[in-house]
Amino acid sequence: MRDVLFLVADKNMEAMIKGFFSRPGFHRALGCGSFVFDARQDLVVAHGLADPGLYTRANELLQPYARTHAHAVVMLDVDWDGSPGLQLIKNRIDGHLARAGWPADRGCAVVIHPELENWVWQDSPHVSSALGFEHTYAELRRLLEGQGFWAPDASKPHRPKEAVEWALRRSKTSRSSAIYQQLAAQVSTRRCNDSAFLALSGALSRWFP
C-alpha cells in the first residue's frame, strides 16, 4: 500500500505539491519521518471541478484509492463564489474522507484561507525572482503596499492572489503553474505559520513520526 494520496483542486496546487515534494529531504522541512511520494501515483487533480466541485464531489474522486493508499489529503481554497467558509468546508471534506475510507486520523483536509497564493508570500528572494522582479522581497512588498494589496502591519497581503497577479502584470511575466512549482522547490518553510500548512505538516508528522 502506498503512503499518501493528495487530491487537489487545480493545477497550481498540483504544481505546488510537485515542487515541494521534489526537494531533497522534504520530510525534514515538514518535521516528519520520510515517506514515498510519486506524483504519477500519489497526486490527483480535480480537473474541471476546481474548489466548488471538489467540495461537493471529493468522496467520488477519493473512492478509487481507498485500497491503494494508507492516508489521504484533500486540498482546496476557502475563497470561491458560494463558499460556505473555512469551518464548513473542512467539516464537509472530513466527511468525504471518512466515507471514502479514511476515518479518524487517516485523512486530512487542508483548507487554505483565503487561497493558495497565501503560501507564495514568504520572505525570500526566490519570491521576487519567480514573479519577475530584480527587487528585494522588501522592495516588492513596498510596491504592493503602495497599491493597497498589503497592509503595513500585516505579515502577508490581505489579497494574496490579486497581489500575485498585479506583480506578474507589472513585471510582464506570464502566469504559469510552473511559478508555483519553482517557489515550492526553493522557498524555505521554516517560518511558515499558515494554519493550512501547519495542518498538513501536523498530519504528516503524526502519520510518519
Whether residue 166 is predicted with pLDDT greater than 80 in this model: the reply is: yes
Whether residue 193 is predicted with pLDDT greater than 90 in this model: the reply is: no
DSSP assignment of 37-76: --HHHHEEE-TTTHHHHHHHHHHHHHGGGTTTEEEEEEEE
Encode pLDDT of 64-106 as tens digits.
999 999 999 999 999 999 999 999 999 999 999 999 999 879 9
The rounded distance, in Å, linking the Cα atoms of 20 and 61 is: 23
Which pLDDT value is given to residue 104? 79
Which pLDDT value is given to residue 71? 98
